[in-house]
């Protein structure tokens, strides 16, 4: 199995100014190609640190990928460190120069002397084009091993990986037909992690050593992942997966590792049905989830974020008495919100949320984390009350998840 490591370079990662979202995305692409990601290491923009990390990564892995440190400013030193590491020197690359000059032809201010340092590259490096930026992609060879360097800006990295680095890896050494890494995931809810593990004890004991089972609990959903790193066939894997699905069928909400909004969107699209949301405590997050993915305009009509009670009344038609008698976080209000937005936007389904996200606003009777959710469907409206924790972000994230799962169940 081909082993890879990622080194992410940048002080911003180590002082917490930036979250590394690149590595997870890269890991998925590598796994799909049958390349195992062994380790991720984040290091400072510091010569000794970068060199030490490279030495260690090369001692373990066949392929090393780096992101970051390739900008034109003084704090970015990756190219210079690598040039020394491979005992090379910088030379002008005519292709890179032409590319950069074309890229910024309408922006003469950017074609300054700092930008012109971007077309200097280590002589020993193979250069691939960075279609959307000024930092060329560099490949270095060390015996049979190789190092590929990309910018750290996520969208530049993604285009670089998709268009250049992955095809390069595939063409040079590593065939997609080699040993396949297979991950298959079930999503379950309504059972504790430890109880699930007891339920699956016999299954786990019977599993071959080449098969791995992982439990990933989050926000009341447990993702159960079966993994094989090149040792099981797709058919064998499928058999184990089917057995696992059978065992957890009482708790199953999905047999694929896709977000709930994608599953719901697909179901609505297939059924030619539409949805709208009316949100108080989730504040637009549910809407944003529903239209996050391409193709959502087919089933998603719109939303009313009714943070203020006046908006609940005037836009959604919630009754003043309901607000007065039961408060905004109540079954009566959330039902009227769901039915109000369903009528307003002429959809098949509507979801409404109203809750106390905190940190303030809680009471003895309705503590922070109390969330009412209603689902209005062609068959009628139902509502449930949840208690979703104490932290604002957690409450809103979990409320969205519960709202989506609730509708999935009702449609099915």
What part of residues 213-232 is at the interface with a second copy (CB under 8 A)? 213-218, 223, 225, 227
Nearest to 339 by CA among 371, 317, 370, 372: 317
Cβ at position 152, least distance to a second copy in Å: 9
DSSP 3-state of 146: strand
What part of residues 333-392 is at the interface with a second copy (CB under 8 A)? 344-346, 358-360, 389, 391-392
Does residue number 155 form part of the binding site for a second copy (CB under 8 A)?
A: yes
Q: Pick the binder of a second copy from 198, 206, 210, 320 (CB under 8 A).
A: 198
Structure tokens at 20: 């590394």
- DSSP letter assigned to residue 111: S
Q: Pick the binder of a second copy from 77, 103, 173, 311 (CB under 8 A).
A: 311
Does residue number 161 form part of the binding site for a second copy (CB under 8 A)?
A: no
Pure H helices in 152-192: 154-160, 166-172
Q: Pick the binder of a second copy from 47, 49, 179, 410 (CB under 8 A).
A: 49
Q: Which is nearer to a second copy, 26 or 139 (CB)?
A: 26
Q: Which is nearer to a second copy, 101 or 123 (CB)?
A: 101
Which part of the chain contacts a second copy (CB under 8 A), choosing from 164-172, 208-216, 369-377, 401-409? Answer: 208-216
| Packing angle of the helix pair 78-85, 47-60 (nearest 10 deg) | 60
Cβ at position 324, least distance to a second copy in Å: 18
Nearest to 180 by CA among 356, 314, 1: 1
Q: Which is nearer to a second copy, 52 or 123 (CB)?
A: 52
Q: Which is nearer to a second copy, 124 or 203 (CB)?
A: 203
* x/- letters, 16..45, toward a second copy (CB under 8 A): xxxxxx-xxxxxxx-x-----xxxxxxxxx
User: CA of 249: how far to CAs of 44, 134, 186, 252, 254, in Å?
Assistant: 47, 52, 10, 5, 10
Does residue number 12 form part of the binding site for a second copy (CB under 8 A)?
A: yes
Cβ at position 387, least distance to a second copy in Å: 12
Structure tokens at 401: 């998840």
DSSP 3-state of 165: helix
- DSSP letter assigned to residue 220: T
Cβ at position 21, least distance to a second copy in Å: 5
Q: Which is nearer to a second copy, 24 or 98 (CB)?
A: 24
What part of residues 111-130 is at the interface with a second copy (CB under 8 A)? 112-115
- Whether 41 and 64 have beta carbons less than 8 Å apart is answered as no
DSSP 3-state of 136: coil
Check the CA dihedral 359-360-361-366 and report its sign: positive
- Whether 302 and 280 have beta carbons less than 8 Å apart is answered as no
Pure H helices in 33-163: 47-60, 78-85, 94-103, 154-160
In which residue are the tokens 């049979």 written? 144
- Whether 87 and 123 have beta carbons less than 8 Å apart is answered as no
Q: Which is nearer to a second copy, 151 or 406 (CB)?
A: 151
Cβ at position 87, least distance to a second copy in Å: 25
What part of residues 287-306 is at the interface with a second copy (CB under 8 A)? 287-288, 290-292, 294-297, 300-306
Cβ at position 187, least distance to a second copy in Å: 12
Q: Pick the binder of a second copy from 9, 180, 232, 286 (CB under 8 A).
A: 286
Q: Let me know how long the chain is.
A: 412
Does residue number 208 form part of the binding site for a second copy (CB under 8 A)?
A: no
Cβ at position 124, least distance to a second copy in Å: 26
DSSP 3-state of 130: coil
Does residue number 72 form part of the binding site for a second copy (CB under 8 A)?
A: yes
């Amino acid at each position: 199995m081909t082993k890879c490591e990622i080194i992410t370079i940048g002080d911003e990662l180590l002082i917490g100014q930036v979250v590394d979202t690149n590595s997870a995305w890269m890991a998925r692409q590598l796994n799909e190609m049958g390349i195992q990601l062994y380790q991720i290491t984040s290091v400072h923009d510091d010569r000794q640190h970068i060199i030490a990390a490279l030495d260690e990564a090369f001692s373990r892995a066949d392929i090393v990928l780096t992101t970051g440190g390739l900008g034109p400013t003084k704090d970015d030193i990756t190219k210079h460190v690598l040039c020394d590491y491979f005992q090379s020197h910088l030379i002008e690359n005519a292709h890179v120069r032409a590319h950069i000059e074309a890229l910024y032809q309408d922006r003469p201010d950017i074609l300054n002397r700092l930008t012109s340092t971007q077309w200097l590259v280590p002589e020993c490096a193979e250069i691939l084009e960075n279609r959307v930026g000024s930092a060329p992609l560099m490949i270095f060879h060390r015996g049979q091993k190789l190092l590929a360097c990309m910018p750290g800006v996520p969208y530049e990295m993604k285009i670089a990986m998709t268009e250049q680095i992955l095809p390069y890896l595939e063409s040079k050494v590593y065939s997609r037909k080699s040993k396949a890494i297979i991950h298959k995931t079930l999503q379950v809810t309504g059972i504790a992690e430890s109880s699930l593990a007891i339920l699956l004890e016999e299954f786990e004991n019977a599993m071959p050593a080449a098969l791995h089972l992982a439990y990933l609990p989050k926000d009341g959903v447990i993702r159960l992942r079966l993994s094989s790193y090149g040792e099981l066939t797709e058919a064998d894997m499928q058999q184990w997966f089917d057995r696992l699905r059978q065992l957890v069928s009482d708790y199953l909400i999905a047999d694929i590792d896709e977000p709930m909004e994608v599953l719901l969107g697909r179901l609505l699209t297939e059924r030619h049905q539409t949805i709208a949301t009316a949100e108080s405590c989730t504040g637009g997050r549910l809407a944003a989830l529903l239209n996050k993915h391409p193709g959502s305009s087919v089933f998603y009509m719109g939303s009313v974020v009714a943070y203020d009670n006046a908006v609940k009344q005037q836009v959604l038609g919630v009754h003043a008495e309901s607000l007065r008698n039961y408060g905004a976080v109540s079954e009566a209000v959330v039902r009227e919100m769901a039915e109000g937005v369903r009528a307003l936007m002429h959809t098949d389904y509507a979801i409404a949320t109203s809750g106390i996200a905190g940190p303030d606003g809680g009471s003895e009777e309705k503590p922070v984390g109390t969330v009412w959710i209603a689902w209005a469907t062609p068959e009628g409206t139902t509502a449930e009350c949840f208690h979703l924790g104490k932290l604002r972000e957690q409450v809103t994230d979990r409320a969205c998840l519960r709202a989506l799962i609730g509708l999935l169940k009702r449609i099915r």
